[in-house]
Amino acid sequence: MMNYCFADDLTTLRLRVNTFLQQRLQTFDSTPAPLAAAMRYGILLGGKRLRPFLVYACGRMLHADLHTLDYAASAVEAIHSYSLIHDDLPAMDDDTLRRGQKTCHIEFDEATAILAGDALQAFAFECLSEVPKISAEQKVALVKALAVASGGQGMCLGQSLDLLAEQSAVSLDFLQRIHRNKTGALIAAAVELGFLCSPHFKNHALKQHLIRYAQAIGLAFQVQDDILDITADSSTLGKNAGSDLALDKSTYPKLLGLDGAKQKAEQLIVEAKAELQDLEFNTEPLLQLADYIVQRNN
């Protein structure tokens, strides 16, 4: 990619996945119930779309069809959006602001938000069942990868451990276990989905390099989130700043200090980039994404 610009690529792919999601969800009609509106609100509210970007960037690098990747990118974003809707609920993090707007349960009501999250989770697997131009073997692998990453062995486990750790001191190892599941599992799944959509989906050695890259940037993403929670304001973040402090959560700055947390994030990015070093593909988008993760301010 000559003169590659990460910011332009992120914008282009964000528009692509948003357009695909809008087209898919505009056919949902729950009249007179507000469910469909809440689903669209929860997933189309905004967001960086880093997980879809990972699906596209990894799949494109490995010569996957872009239309095939639309379905996988939309599926991972649907899971992510459902998780945010549920994370914001009073029984979880009890937040009122998300992506600069009222959270789903504030805009609608708590029951509708729960159902919107449930419906977006189902929508994710509906998307994967319809992925075109790949084999049945690849489809099954896609479903399994996203299910494992989002369920009791991944994201949901991470959220459960995170709630358990509130108002208690935990070790660095336990904190990493929380975030490798809560944040990292879905980021790793995004890379895996892009890989599974490609002609290289049986290359196990390649997969392991990509998964280790994704695990490192996933943890770095959470470290940077912890840093921003105490260094940025709510208008910049698009969510309530200082929420981790308010809930007395264990965070990387709390365990390592602010400078130590910044060093940890930088170390993880070095580790991530090392996994791409010997790959015989154009890894520039993935390399620049790694840098973006620790340089972002929201």
CA dist 23 and 7 (Å) reads 24
pLDDT of residue 254: 87
pLDDT of residue 242: 57
CB neighbourhood size of 270 (10 A): 11
pLDDT of residue 230: 86
6-295: which CATH topology? Farnesyl Diphosphate Synthase (1.10.600)
Mean of pLDDT over the chain: 93
pTM of the shown model: 0.94
pLDDT of residue 208: 98
Residues of the chain with pLDDT under 50: none
pLDDT for 52-76, tens place per residue? 999 999 999 999 999 999 999 999 9
156 neighbors 34 (Cβ within 8 angstroms): no
pLDDT of residue 234: 67
pLDDT of residue 165: 86
pLDDT of residue 127: 98
Cis status, amide bond into 90, omega within 30 of 0: no
pLDDT for 121-161, tens place per residue? 999 999 999 999 999 999 999 999 999 999 999 999 999 99
CB neighbourhood size of 214 (10 A): 26
DSSP-assigned states of every residue in 166-195: TTS---HHHHHHHHHHHTHHHHHHHHHHHH
